[in-house]
Chains A and B, each alone.
Chain A
Amino acid sequence: MKSKSDIEPVNLTPMIDIVFQMIIFFVFTLDLEREKFDKELEIAEAKKAPEIIEFIPASIYPQVLRDGTVKIGSAVVNERTFRGIIQGAIKNSGGRTDIPVLIYAEGETPHKHIMRIMDICSQEKLYDIRIIGLLEKSK
């Protein structure tokens, strides 16, 4: 019968190599900017518009639901808070007003709710307003 000391230790190095490579892959493919969007929202398709390859850091991403609710990330914000977020972003960037605002809205949202967001941006002198469309839904 083999004693404990006779059992050869399993060589873990290849497994650790693979595990580390997998971790490196996941860390590099993690796009925190994309995490700011609620995937449950049904946004309208725009297949011919330019695709967003990389999200510009420090951009503002208001999400507008069909009932007019505005969300930043997962937090519901009112107009006053949204204005405060914009003012904070401008202040943090040293007074720059070229911060992009990407509006991520449901297709069924009435335009008046989008207009409210755009008006606040204009009043705070942010004019780089972009509408987000869906090129391809992930499976």
Chain B
Amino acid sequence: MSSRLKKNNRERASKRKLEDVPLTPMIDVVFQMLIYFVVTFEIPDRLTEMKVWRPQGESSAPTSTEPPDNITIYKVRPGASPYTLNDRGVSIASIRNYVFRLADNNPEQTVVIKATYESKHKHLVELLNLMSEAGLENISLFSAQ
């Protein structure tokens, strides 16, 4: 009987010790962390990526890179009509039709984009986006004056 009493007393004493652990500092720190995360939390922009090959790199690029079957030049120029296809000024809609036809024939087709120095980056991105939509992945990018 007395041993049970002692055991109960011991259990009660250890419980009390556990209860006595001060949680306040931990809660303070945890709340500070929470406030930091809430204040700095931002929903990130959703981004896309488009891979390009640079011509000067191709000579020493991985050997898996196949040489282009055909070379088609889209020049991205500054100004109102920024695109040419084989040196003929065209709209983005015409390029779109052409690119989709190319992709239908051979999705492995290499396309060469030639961008002039002063052309805007957004036009290049628009073309690369079009290539991705058509499923063309072998894109070489030249820069020219």
Q: Do A and B come from one complex?
A: yes
The answer to whether B51 touches A130 (Cβ under 8 A) is yes
Let me know if A115 is at the binding interface, CB within 8 A.
yes
In angstroms, Cα B130 to Cα A9, docked, is 65
Q: How many residues of B sit at the interface, in one of the four size bands?
A: 35 or more
B111 at the interface (CB under 8 A from A): no
Instruction: Determine if B34 and A138 form an interchain contact, defined as CB atoms under 8 angstroms apart.
Output: no
User: Chain A interface secondary structure, helix, strand, loop or mixed?
Assistant: mixed
Interchain CB contact under 8 A, B49 and A50 = yes
A52 touches B49 (CB 8 A): yes
Q: Is B72 an interface residue (CB 8 A)?
A: no
Determine which of A64, A110, A122 lies in contact with B117 in the assembled complex, contact meaning CB atoms within 8 Å. A110
A122-B57, A133-B47 are contacts. A44–B52 as well, Cβ < 8 Å?
no
Query: Shortest distance in angstroms between B25's beta carbon and chain A's nearest beta carbon?
Result: 13
State which of B51, B115, B121 has its C-beta within 8 Å of the C-beta of A105: B121
Q: Report A's interface with B, CB cutoff 8 A.
A: 12, 16, 19-20, 22-23, 26-27, 29-31, 34, 37, 39, 43-52, 64, 102, 105-112, 114-115, 118-119, 121-122, 125, 127-139
The smallest beta-carbon distance between B20 and chain A, in angstroms, is 12
Interface of B is mostly: mixed
What residue in chain B is nearest A9 (Cβ atoms)? B19
| Cβ contacts B52-82/A at 8 Å (1 or 0 each) | 1110111011100000000000001010000
Q: Closest Cβ of chain A: how far from B74's Cβ, in Å?
A: 13
The 8 Å CB contact of B49, one of A16, A131, A138, is A131
- B26-40 at interface with A (beta carbon < 8 Å): 27, 30-31, 33-34, 37-38
Among A16, A105, A128, A135, point to the contact of B48 (Cβ < 8 A).
A135
- Report the minimum CB–CB distance from A122 to chain B (whole Å): 4
Nearest opposing residue in chain A for B135, CB measure = A48
- Which of B23, B45, B61, B125 touches A138 (beta carbons < 8 Å)? B45
- CA A110 – CA B51 in complex, angstroms? 19
